Amino acid sequence: MQVRKFHLGSALAVLAVTAFANAGSRAQAPSQTVPQSPLSAMAPWMNASLPPDDRADLVQAQMAQDEELTLVRGYLGVAAPRTRSPQPAWMLQNLPSSAGYVPGIPRLGIPALRETDASLGVANGRHMRPGDQATALPASILTASTWNAALAHDAGVMLGTETRDKGFNVLLDGGVDLAREPRNGRTFEYTGEDPLLAGVIAGEVIRGAQEQHVLSTAKHYALNDQESGRFVMSANMDEAAMRESDLLAFEIAIEHGAPGAVMCAYNKVNGVYACENDLLLNKVLKAEWGYPGFVLSDWGAVHSAAMAANNGLDQESASVLDKQDFFAEPLKQAVASGDVSSARLHDMAHRILRSMFVHGLFDYPVSPKPIATEADAAVAERTAEEGIVLLKNQNNLLPLAHPQRIAVIGAHADLGVLSGGGSSQVIPVGDDARNEILVGGPVTNVPKVGVQVPSEIMVYDPPAPLATIRALAGGASVAFDDGTDVARAAAVAKAADIAIVFAQQWMREGRDVPGLSLPANQDVLIDAVASANPHTIVVLETGGPVVMPWLAKAAAVMEAWYPGQGGAQAIARTLFGLANPSGRLAITFPQSEAQLPHPSPSIAIQSSLDVNYAEGANVGYKWFEAQKLTPLFPFGYGLSYTSFRYGGLSAQGGTTVTVGFDVTNAGARLGKAVAQIYAAPPAAGGRDVRRLIGWSKIDLKPGETQHVSVTADPRLLAHFDAAAHKWHVAAGNYLVSLGESSATAAAYAWVHVDESTIKP
């Protein structure tokens, strides 16, 4: 393509500098029409009616090789005292602290990439931007437990909007690693154990965010399924199993969300680092899935220049965290020597620019403005309300019927609701430091921030459940005991009509939890409280499953996960029946760790760790079915204050499975059913384990019936044939079940499916 040489000159430079310096001022909300920027008249690539590939070609035709190199190397966006070289002064002086930054090219109007974490709100870990608060969404495991794709999309819209409001244009969200290791310290950041549910929910969050003209990621590709040894471990699994589990979750998330970038993971996969893994990046992601966006590395996940570039990495993030700035001088030399072709460098820059055009980074420049606190909080609360899972409700103790004396016990219920730690940490609206607990570790003096920042804090999102329970308790007296003295707490419980004991398990990035038992004597506390008061309700604030030795004694159990800043309202509204629980578990709760595929956690031994996932695609409930194990609570499970009746199941075969059925609200309250369809392919001598092939969340009035129809994506019926690189649907009779969890069925049908192969 012939393009004349073009220089934007000073007008653009001024614009770029102004946008940069404007942190804190008000700006335009993204509009649905492309605004007439002064650039559009000047630069051909600013013509928004051209396809993004053409726009990228046009701008690249003007770029020198050094400018392409600028786009492929990222900076850490925050001053970090212990990195191998200091952060550039120009960056620290001009930019608000954040996860990362990639300079733009003002000469050509190419905006900088201003990167922020992550899936639970605009993160501000360790108060890197002192005083900057954002709306804390619930943890992703809760969002997945809503089984509500529209709600996930709304959460994404809110997330994308606040990302822009805070002056960022890249959102590092979209965590979709499967929960195959429930002790994984990031279980809360991911969307559960099933590839369909995880992929749809993560994909919808990404889609919503990107509609706001920010570029979002899907991460961490792939098999970053535990934190122990994450920098050195190799996740080992045969290719077919990967394709049917963890990679399928990514594939579905990418189809739903079309993220502008995919973040490759820290770990190795079958012995090769994920960020230089030809199979994962070139062959599967880019060739087979036809992914047109770019691959950016996780922070400190790059180990080579030429190898990484040739094997599919397009951008090195926060290069100061790697052993060298691989995509700076070493990559330049590799291109000069021909180890990396200039065509490949061109492709790397093209992918980045293309995604920037697709997601509006050129056409809708960001500039900060205050967040819409109330509207955004409402989204967080709605999500929390639909993702809380009621696990037990003996004799319909819930919703509460006008108790006179309520005891609230434990888990800092007087402060707020717990959130998970690490790079996704949001400093919530209303944070006043009294809702934070210093966990320990050294206190770091961060130069840029100029304040003493604790290395680890547990953040309790306000408001406090104690306050929201009091607000809805009518005239009842509500006593609080912090639970530190078990005998005292039991006495407080005994003196009340109802005891609500909060229990917590803190998860954070970088460290797996040591086991699935509640820490710090909480099992003993719950046991004592439940023994003292038969009307004990346990509210769990955990990032994943826990075991419950006290379950028989507790009258009711509610899994609230980390419910975000609408969490306390959602908990209280559910307790008092203003909300009818409709969350269903996105992850299996085992009876004990002995039931897990890996009963003992895999811990890094010095510099290496092989984790052999022999269970392959049988993650979570599939493992339990294959091993004929009964979990404590199965995937898909959750109670409602009403009940649902299912009938008239019809199933049609052929190239895929389509089922039709009726759902009736058989109770007296408005409620939401989550009708789940599972199918088991035929296998030698019987049938394979069942997989989720679809679901429908249906809002029903008392007595109302709705007809629902669900058609399966045929990949969910197939096995992956690694030799042929195709999905293979076997001919035969498939067992289809309709039910309210992976372990129970209201109706079964057999249906004949024809043989087919599907290209990825």
> Least distance in Å: CB of 194 to ligand BGC?
21
Contacts of 658 (CB under 8 A, 6+ apart): 651, 652, 709, 710, 711, 712
Q: What is the DSSP string of 132-189?
A: --B--PPPHHHHHHTT-HHHHHHHHHHHHHHHHHTT-SEE---B----SSTT-TTGGG
| C-alpha span between 306 and 326 (Å, rounded) | 9
Give me the numbers of helices (H) and strands (E) for the chain, helices first please.
19, 32
Q: Which two tokens stand for residue 325?
A: 């700035």
> Least distance in Å: CB of 236 to ligand BGC?
21
Contacts of 695 (CB under 8 A, 6+ apart): 147, 197, 674, 675, 676, 677, 710
| C-alpha span between 747 and 662 (Å, rounded) | 11
| Of 241, 246, 348, the residue nearest 297 (C-alpha) | 348
Binding flag, residue 456, ligand BGC (CB under 6 A): no
Nearer to ligand BGC, 299 or 644 (CB): 299
Nearer to ligand BGC, 117 or 162 (CB): 117
Residue labelled with tokens 């058609």: 711
Q: Which two tokens stand for residue 453?
A: 């920042």
Residue 321 dihedral angles phi and psi, to the nearest 5°: -85, -10
Applying CB under 6 A, the site for ligand BGC has a residue count of 8
Catalytic residue among 57, 154, 298, 325: 298
Measured from the Cβ of residue 163, the count of other Cβ atoms closer than 10 Å reads 30
Nearer to ligand BGC, 103 or 510 (CB): 510
Q: What is the DSSP string of 666-691?
A: -SSS-EEEEEEEEEE-EETTEE---E
Say whether 421 sits in a helix, a strand or coil.
Answer: strand
Q: Which two tokens stand for residue 75?
A: 């900076």
Nearer to ligand BGC, 422 or 465 (CB): 422
Residue 89 dihedral angles phi and psi, to the nearest 5°: -60, -35
List 423, 505, 569, 676, residue binding ligand BGC (CB under 6 A): 423
Q: Which two tokens stand for residue 442?
A: 């050294």
Nearer to ligand BGC, 172 or 242 (CB): 172
CA distances from residue 727 to 108, 722, 735 in whole angstroms, order as listed:
44, 8, 19
| C-alpha span between 675 and 740 (Å, rounded) | 6
Binding flag, residue 118, ligand BGC (CB under 6 A): yes
> Least distance in Å: CB of 172 to ligand BGC?
4
Residue 356 dihedral angles phi and psi, to the nearest 5°: -65, -40
Nearer to ligand BGC, 113 or 540 (CB): 113
> Least distance in Å: CB of 424 to ligand BGC?
7
Q: Which two tokens stand for residue 421?
A: 């730690």
> Least distance in Å: CB of 189 to ligand BGC?
8
CA distances from residue 203 to 173, 176, 217 in whole angstroms, order as listed:
10, 9, 10
**Taking the mean position of all CA atoms in its chain, how far away is CA 261?**
15
> Least distance in Å: CB of 356 to ligand BGC?
18
The shares of helix, strand and coil residues in the chain, as percent rounded to the nearest 5, are 30, 25, 45
Nearer to ligand BGC, 299 or 362 (CB): 299
> Least distance in Å: CB of 317 to ligand BGC?
7
Nearer to ligand BGC, 297 or 304 (CB): 297
> Least distance in Å: CB of 266 to ligand BGC?
7
**Taking the mean position of all CA atoms in its chain, how far away is CA 102?**
24
Binding flag, residue 219, ligand BGC (CB under 6 A): yes
Q: Which residues pair with 405 in a beta bridge?
A: 477
Q: Is 687 exposed, middle or buried (0-12, 13-18, 19+ CB in 10 A)?
A: middle
- Interface characters, 323-352, with ligand BGC (x: CB under 6 A): ------------------------------
- Interface characters, 6-45, with ligand BGC (x: CB under 6 A): ----------------------------------------
Binding flag, residue 165, ligand BGC (CB under 6 A): no
> Least distance in Å: CB of 622 to ligand BGC?
27
CA distances from residue 51 to 66, 160, 312, 404, 407 in whole angstroms, order as listed:
25, 23, 24, 66, 62
CB 698 within 8 A of CB 675: yes
Binding flag, residue 99, ligand BGC (CB under 6 A): yes
Nearer to ligand BGC, 20 or 231 (CB): 231
Nearer to ligand BGC, 126 or 164 (CB): 126
Binding flag, residue 298, ligand BGC (CB under 6 A): yes
Q: What is the DSSP string of 64-76?
A: -HHHHHHHTB-EE
Binding flag, residue 161, ligand BGC (CB under 6 A): no
Binding flag, residue 101, ligand BGC (CB under 6 A): no
Q: Which two tokens stand for residue 253?
A: 């998330």
Nearer to ligand BGC, 118 or 309 (CB): 118
> Least distance in Å: CB of 33 to ligand BGC?
32
List 113, 120, 151, 172, residue binding ligand BGC (CB under 6 A): 172
**Alpha-carbon torsion, ordered 711, 587, 161, 78, to 10 deg:** -140
Is 298 one of the annotated active-site residues of the chain?
yes
Nearer to ligand BGC, 300 or 620 (CB): 300
| Of 256, 211, 302, 40, the residue nearest 713 (C-alpha) | 256
Binding flag, residue 117, ligand BGC (CB under 6 A): yes
Binding flag, residue 322, ligand BGC (CB under 6 A): no
Binding flag, residue 299, ligand BGC (CB under 6 A): yes
CA distances from residue 603 to 36, 226, 301, 512, 607 in whole angstroms, order as listed:
56, 10, 19, 9, 11
**Alpha-carbon torsion, ordered 181, 303, 269, 214, to 10 deg:** 70
Binding flag, residue 625, ligand BGC (CB under 6 A): no
Residue labelled with tokens 């509006």: 360
Say whether 540 sits in a helix, a strand or coil.
Answer: strand
Nearer to ligand BGC, 299 or 613 (CB): 299
> Least distance in Å: CB of 99 to ligand BGC?
4
> Least distance in Å: CB of 708 to ligand BGC?
37
> Least distance in Å: CB of 326 to ligand BGC?
17
Residues 638-697 that bind ligand BGC (CB under 6 A): none
Binding site for ligand BGC (CB under 6 A): 99, 117-118, 172, 219, 298-299, 423
Residues involved in catalysis:
298
